[in-house]
Structure 1
Amino acid sequence: MDHYDLVVLKTIAICEYGIRAVAAKYIMKCDDDTFVRVDSIISETREFESDESLYMGNMNYHHRPLRNGKWAVTYEEWIEEEYPPYANGPGYIVSSDIAHFIVSEFEQQRLKLFKMEDVSMGMWVEKFNSSKEVEYVHSFRFCQFGCIEDYYTAHYQSPRQMACMWDKLQHQGKPLCCNMR
C-alpha cells in the first residue's frame, strides 16, 4: 500500500539499494512527479572529490516547523524551533558513505524517523556530519515548485510535460520547461 508516511522507509530502502545492489558514489532520491536531468546531475557531482561526503539539493536553512495546517508538526513530534539543514524532497543527492551510515543506523535501530522524509534526511546527515564533515551544496536548480530554465530537476510535472521536456532536451539541446498539464 502506498502512503505518504511510508516515504521515510522508502528513502531508507533507496539508500540500502544504492550500496548493496549497485556500486554507486551517490544516491538520488526524487519524487515520481519530478523530471531529472541525469546528465547534469552526474556532471555536477563530478566537481567533488570522490572521498568527500556530499549532500546536494535545494537546501533549507533555519526552517521552522509549521504548527498548523496540512504539514503541521506538534511540539511532541518536534520540540525544537528549527529543523536541521535539509534539502527539499522533490530531488536531492547524498554520497554513498552517508547512505551506508543511514542503513547501518537503521539496522541497529538507532535511526530516528520523522514523518517528513526530507527533514528526516536532514537529521540523518546532521548526525553523520558530527563524525565526518559533509559538504552541503545548495542549488535552486533543484526546482521545488514547477520548472525553471536550466533546471536539474523540475517538480510537479505531468507525464505529458515530462515527454515534452525530454523532447526539448533531445531536439533543441536545452533544458526548457513545458507549461501544459
Structure 2
Amino acid sequence: MDNYDLVVLKTVAICEYGVRSVAAKYIMKCDDDTFVRVDAAMKEAKKVHGDRSLYVGNINYYHRPLRHGKWAVTYEEWPEEEYPPYANGPGYIVSSDIAKFIVSEFEEHKLRLFKMEDVSMGMWVEQFNSSRPVEYLHSVKFCQFGCIEGYYTAHYQSPRQMICMWDKLQHHGKPQCCNMR
C-alpha cells in the first residue's frame, strides 16, 4: 500500500536497510521523481573528514510550520513555532551512525514520528546531535523545486527528463537540465 503518510515509516526502513543489509557508510533518501548524480552527492558527503556524523542536503533553518493549506500543521501536531533544521525531502544524506540511532530508537518505541518525513529526519538528527556532534552540510544543489545547472539532485523530473539528463551527463560530461515534461 502506498500513501504519503507512510513515507516516514519508509524512511526508517531505508535507514534499517542501509545499516543491516549493506553496511553502508552513508544513507541517501530521495523521492522517486528525483534524478540523483550519485558521484556528486558522494563527493559532497566526503567533504566531512574522518568518521564524523553528517547530515547533507538543502537544509532549512528556522523554518516555520504552515498553519493553512495542503501542508498545514496544527498546534496539536507541532506546538513549537519553528522546526529543527531539516533537509528538504527530495534528497538528502545521513551517516550510518545516525541511521543506526534512528533504527534503535524506533525499535525501542522512542522515536517521535511526524507526518512530514523530512521534518522527522531533522528531529531525529537534532536528537542524535544532543549527544554526539553532527556536521550539517547545506547545498542548494540538492534542488527541491526542479533542476538547476550543476545540480546534485533534481526534483520533479519525469522519466523522459531523467533519460535526457542521463544522456547529457554521458555525452557532454556535465550536469544539464532537461526542461521537457
TM value normalised by structure 2: 0.99
For 1:172 and 1:106, how far apart are their aligned partners in 2?
44
Q: 1:23 deviation in Å?
A: 1.5
Matched, 1:155 2:155: yes
Counterpart in the other structure of 2:56: 56
Give unpaired runs (5+ residues) of structure 1.
none
1:18-167 map, 5 Å: 18-167=18-167
For 1:2 and 1:30, how far apart are their aligned partners in 2?
16
Amino acid at match of 1:138: H
Secondary structure at 2:15's aligned position in 1? helix
For 1:38 and 1:170, how far apart are their aligned partners in 2?
14
For 2:66 and 2:128, how far apart are their aligned partners in 1?
25
For 1:104 and 1:173, how far apart are their aligned partners in 2?
41
Segments ≥4 residues shifted beyond 2 Å:
none
Q: 1:44 deviation in Å?
A: 1.8
What do residues 149-170 of structure 1 show as CA deviations (whole Å, max 9, x unaligned)? 0000000000000000000000
Assess if the C-alpha contact under 8 Å between 2:29 and 2:91 holds in 1. Answer: yes
Q: Give me the identity figure in percent.
A: 81
Secondary structure at 1:80's aligned position in 2? coil
Number of matched residues? Answer: 181
